[in-house]
Structure 1
């Protein structure tokens, strides 16, 4: 889903019945929406969140993977139409991830593609790549250690254990933790602040960082 107001585009991963899992169709839609907001001069900042309170996104749709062996290639896809991290990173505008629930494995990688993370108290993060025997292909192995330190990143990745929102904030992964009802207003307020900055300058600054 896409809503644009006051220079802020709010993009919602909308498959709550499937924990907002990234089916092939959803990955294509995310690519199309991110391309659209990147090209829309009325949009100056983006908020990415998940529908409901259970999940930001559970990553790749395992049911789809089970029925289509070729779908596993999405874990290392190069095309932004199939790789949601590339779709997000190609947006020149700041992207705030509003983590409303679990962000698991590929979903964790999608969260890490955002420029700034804020979370509700329902948020939890987990890297279960090792548990399922699939190497991370969307950048987690490099990004996570830069954000929380290599030892903590190894602990999460080698155990598959969950990281709660409070600890994620203490470790520097998320900037703010609020109650579920306050999450989207907070993210949109931060995006609104960013929308006040000259967009061309902000795009250059984002590329520099």
Structure 2
């Protein structure tokens, strides 16, 4: 398999995926995007993997987005900007793994790279992280979800400021605006992201998948409809829970707490 994307399976049910083209700011070449999809399918089919961390190699870039040098010699690659095919669209590829994804943003996340960051469920940023939407500057419309996701996270006015100017957003401001959960020193980033993924991996995957669905589907609805959906969904799911299920999970939580104290 190509080394443009690295997969590390860790003992605790967490997979670390690294975009590995640091000499090109981890730009999303055709080959990298195809490899990323293949790795995400490996993760999907591996029941021992319960959570995923995605990061970039080095400290300069998470990813600078589509490889503009590649596009400069072959414009057929432009279709990737709107293609939903997961072998071409890295956002669809990441979502296709079906597991919770923590983005460890180690450097710049620019344009398509910003969209890849937004594909993650949770973002932890290095103090080196910066975000920019330069679609307008290069004359390419976003097609991987940024125009809709970003304004829902930070508000429409702030999203317009970023997208209409191409200005960079630093890590601290990104945290203040709710784009990232927190900012950590560069040398602590992976530890923080992997520890978070480790905590997520404790939850039973079938339950977590349903909880994730409940949150994401409800987010797309008006509040009253979302509350009604939660009532319906939870009444069905909670009706399937047995006393034995609760006791088993209680014991697992207790054992984990003891192990941490030890």
TM range (shorter): over 0.9
Q: 2:181 aligns with which of 175, 186, 200?
A: 175
2:240 corresponds to: none
Q: Mark the runs of 5 or more structure 1 residues left unpaired by the alignment.
A: none
Contact 1:19 1:54 in 2 (8 A): yes
1:2 corresponds to: 7
2:244 corresponds to: none
Cα deviation 1:26-64 (Å, max 9, x = unaligned): 000100111111110000000000000000000000010
Contact 1:2 1:9 in 2 (8 A): yes
Q: 1:48 aligns with which of 50, 54, 70?
A: 54
Q: 1:83 aligns with which of 89, 92, 103?
A: 89
Note if 1:145 corresponds to 2:151.
Answer: yes
Note if 1:163 corresponds to 2:169.
Answer: yes
Question: Hey, what's the Cα distance between the residues in 1 that align with 2:37 and 2:209?
Answer: 19
Aligned-residue offset at 1:91: 2.0
| Structure with greater Cα Rg | 2
- Output aligned runs, 1:18-167, within 5 Å: 18-167=24-173
Question: Hey, what's the Cα distance between the residues in 1 that align with 2:41 and 2:161?
Answer: 35
Residue 93 of structure 1: SS of its match in structure 2?
A: coil
Aligned-residue offset at 1:90: 1.7
Aligned-residue offset at 1:205: 1.5
Residue 116 of structure 2: SS of its match in structure 1?
A: helix
Aligned-residue offset at 1:120: 0.2
Aligned residues: 209
- Higher share in helix: 2
Cα deviation 1:50-108 (Å, max 9, x = unaligned): 00000000000001001101011111112000000001112211000000000000000
- RMSD (CA atoms): 0.6
**TM score, norm. by length of structure 2:** 0.79
Question: Hey, what's the Cα distance between the residues in 2 that align with 1:95 and 1:74?
Answer: 22
Contact 1:92 1:206 in 2 (8 A): no
Q: Quick one: higher RCO (CA 8 Å, sep 6+), 1 or 2?
A: 1
Aligned-residue offset at 1:173: 0.2
Question: Hey, what's the Cα distance between the residues in 2 that align with 1:206 and 1:142?
Answer: 19
Question: Hey, what's the Cα distance between the residues in 2 that align with 1:47 and 1:33?
Answer: 13
**TM score, norm. by length of structure 1:** 0.99
Question: Hey, what's the Cα distance between the residues in 2 that align with 1:204 and 1:134?
Answer: 36
Question: Hey, what's the Cα distance between the residues in 2 that align with 1:128 and 1:186?
Answer: 29
